[in-house]
Amino acid sequence: MLPADPWWVNLSIVIPAVLFWWGRARGLDLHARQLVWLAVWALAFAMVEATVVVYLRAIYSQMLGHPATPAAVAELSAQLAPAPLWPLPDELLRLEAGRELATMIMLVGIAAVSARTWAGRAIAFLFAFAIWDAAYYFWLWVIIRWPGSLATIDVLFLIPRPWTSPVWFPVVVSSLTVLAVLAGRRVVSPSLRGS
């Protein structure tokens, strides 16, 4: 049984292998300082995203007559874990899909200004996305102690339709992606690094 739904989300597991191969074959068009700033940006952006999710869950908690405290949000999150799609009105689901699209645009934007080549921008996007994705779960756990385990089911994206999987799947893919970029970076010869 595949961990993610829809089935094609599972193909993301090949991204780290492709990045590692690309790094060995052609080198990575990113300097160490670019990777550091991408990582700093992604960690901060993940905190913003996690905070937004906590606020959304707090609002939902209030709609159900519970307090909007971190403890109440943590309890609600644990209850919703088996069925992560909340019964929100279509207007709010469309708004959330718009927020997800804006998130992707911001990730593309930081990648676009981080590298000079299309390949470098793609690698920068995947690197920033991977750190942002894994750090998002880290910050959620710090703020509300959710997810309770890596086996917790979560909605990863809503576009073009809901993607769901256990939390371990995006964390593993993201961690391997970061490692693949760093490993590919180390094998770049000085002549390929440029100035």
Question: Which residues, at least 6 apart from 116, have a Cβ–Cβ distance to it below 8 Å?
Answer: 29
The answer to whether residues 69 and 143 touch, using CB atoms and an 8 Å cutoff, is: no
CA distance 127 to 130: 5
> Which pLDDT score is estimated for 188?
41
Q: What predicted TM-score, i.e. pTM, was given to this entire model? A: 0.88
Copy the structure tokens of residue 19.
Answer: 């990045």
* Residue 85: predicted pLDDT: 56
Label residue 86 by pLDDT band (50, 70, 90).
low
Q: How far is CA 135 from the centre of its chain?
A: 7
Please give the Cα distance from 50 to 57 (Å, whole number).
11
pLDDT tens figures, 1-56: 899 999 999 999 999 999 888 877 777 778 889 999 999 999 999 999 999 989 98
Instruction: Categorise residue 149: left if φ over 0, alpha if ψ from -120 to 50, beta otherwise.
Output: beta
Query: Would you say residue 73 has pLDDT above 80?
Result: yes
- CA atoms in the 13 A half-sphere facing the CB of 185: 18
Provide the strand spans (E) within 78-184. Answer: 153-157, 163-166
Chain segment 105-119, per-residue pLDDT in tens: 999 999 999 988 888
Please give the pLDDT value at position 57: 84
- Separation CA 49–CA 85 (nearest Å): 17
Rounded Cα–Cα distance for residues 10 and 13 (Å): 6
Residue in the structure block whose two tokens are 């981080």: 114
The predicted structure's pLDDT at residue 173:
98
